[in-house]
Chain A
Amino acid sequence: MSELDSAETWLARIRERLDVPYAQVLACDPVNATMIRHWCEAHGVTDPRYWAGDLAQGERLRAPASMLQVWLQPGPSGWRPEGSATTDACEVIDWFAKAGFTGLVGVGVEQSFHRPLIEGERLYSISTLTYLSDLKTTGLGVGYFFTVRQDVYCAQEKVAQVSFRQLCYRPKVQG
């Protein structure tokens, strides 16, 4: 197989994934007060509702909006609850890496939070590769820009959406 054929094969494999949703990935943990407080401590957030459960009568704890992706991240072992898919649209990063595009940088992230997430809620996400550029020359090296969208649900309700654009590049050889 020539290099050109090989390139067409792996790129075609990625292109075939465009706009095809992946299966549901289940959050490892429900929205919970402990992880919220750890996040607050790490980032200097001092809201007493998070530190001391200082809530009004009948008020339920609402997670900070920008913790959205925290609920969906796997841990260092990669464990997911039973019934969860084990791969999502981020698998294209591995395919780029195998083709020599081992560098990865974030370019931009757009998030919509339709409503606050409440303590105890269990989330899942459906990811889709929504954009793939042609081969581009950048300051870091040649590479491909791509966007993965995550649609985030609680039961049947869509609660948030994240679109993350990244660049996979072939690092320039260090002089």
Chain B
Amino acid sequence: MNESTAVNFEDLRPGQQLPTLEVAVSTGSIVAGAIATRDFHPIHHDLDRVRCEGHAGLFLNIFSSNAYIERWVRSWSGPAGRVGHMDIRLGGPCYAGQVLRIAGSVTEVHRGPPGCLHVEVSMTCDATRHAHGSLKFYWH
């Protein structure tokens, strides 16, 4: 979250694109994310089990998807902001070996105080739509 490009809240307008975040998803990152979010469901660490259930491989858990969304928006904002609301619709799974891309833009700017942005977010994994939704992001 210290990858900030020093965004100035006063300059923000609806329609502004956020920089796209790309993450190479691997077996290691899926398992590390699952354990760090205390999600011990076998579909995030047991390859034999997920193959029996018809999946191509291990896939990212939802708590990790949320973590990457927060990393994406706060990498852009710098430490000034905090996520106040996240509404995410889930699509297809994100498998090991795929590239997760998080993109989106500002849809509303409320000057406040407290300043608040509405941001739409879209997550894809290779050609699959992984998730999409919206955030409210407070600017302190």
Q: Is B113 an interface residue (CB 8 A)?
A: no
With A42-B29, A43-B36, A112-B84 in contact, do A107 and B71 touch (Cβ < 8 Å)? no
User: Considering the chains assembled together, what is the distance between the CA atoms of A107 and B92 in angstroms?
Assistant: 10
Q: How near does chain B come to A174, taking the closest CB pair, in angstroms?
A: 7
Pick from B54, B71, B87: contact of A44, CB below 8 A.
Answer: B71
> Which of chain B's residues have a CB closer than 8 A to the CB of A42?
29, 32-33, 35-37, 64, 67
Pick from B66, B67, B83, B84: contact of A45, CB below 8 A.
Answer: B67
Identity of the chain B residue whose Cβ is nearest the Cβ of A78 in the assembled complex: B40
Interface residues of B in 68-82 (CB under 8 A from A): 68-71, 74, 79, 82
In this complex, how many residues of chain B approach chain A with their Cβ under 8 Å: the count is 35
Q: How near does chain B come to A45, taking the closest CB pair, in angstroms?
A: 5
User: Considering the chains assembled together, what is the distance between the CA atoms of A83 and B133 in angstroms?
Assistant: 37
Query: Is the CB–CB distance between A70 and B63 below 8 Å?
Result: yes
Q: Is B23 an interface residue (CB 8 A)?
A: yes
Identity of the chain A residue whose Cβ is nearest the Cβ of B43 in the assembled complex: A104
Interface residues of B in 1-52 (CB under 8 A from A): 1-3, 23, 29, 32-33, 35-40
With A39-B67, A75-B38 in contact, do A108 and B1 touch (Cβ < 8 Å)? no
Q: Is B110 an interface residue (CB 8 A)?
A: no
User: Considering the chains assembled together, what is the distance between the CA atoms of A174 and B73 in angstroms?
Assistant: 41
Query: Is the CB–CB distance between A47 and B2 below 8 Å?
Result: yes
Pick from B37, B64, B87: contact of A110, CB below 8 A.
Answer: B87
Interface range on chain A: under 10, 10 to 19, 20 to 34, or 35 or more?
35 or more
> Which of chain B's residues have a CB closer than 8 A to the CB of A47?
1-2, 74, 79
Interface residues of A in 61-107 (CB under 8 A from B): 62, 64-67, 69-70, 73-76, 105-107
Q: Is A38 an interface residue (CB 8 A)?
A: yes
User: Considering the chains assembled together, what is the distance between the CA atoms of A49 and B1 in angstroms?
Assistant: 9
Query: Is the CB–CB distance between A46 and B83 below 8 Å?
Result: no
Q: Is A19 an interface residue (CB 8 A)?
A: no
Known pairs A43-B67, A109-B66 / 19 extra A-B pairs, C-beta < 8 Å:
A35-B36, A42-B33, A43-B33, A43-B64, A45-B1, A47-B74, A64-B67, A64-B70, A65-B70, A65-B83, A66-B67, A75-B38, A107-B90, A110-B85, A111-B85, A111-B86, A112-B84, A112-B85, A114-B84
Kindly list the 4 A-B residue pairs having the minimum CB-CB distance in the complex, ordered from nearest.
Answer: A47-B1, A42-B36, A73-B38, A66-B66
Q: Which residues of B contact A (CB under 8 A)?
A: 1-3, 23, 29, 32-33, 35-40, 54, 62-64, 66-71, 74, 79, 82-90, 133
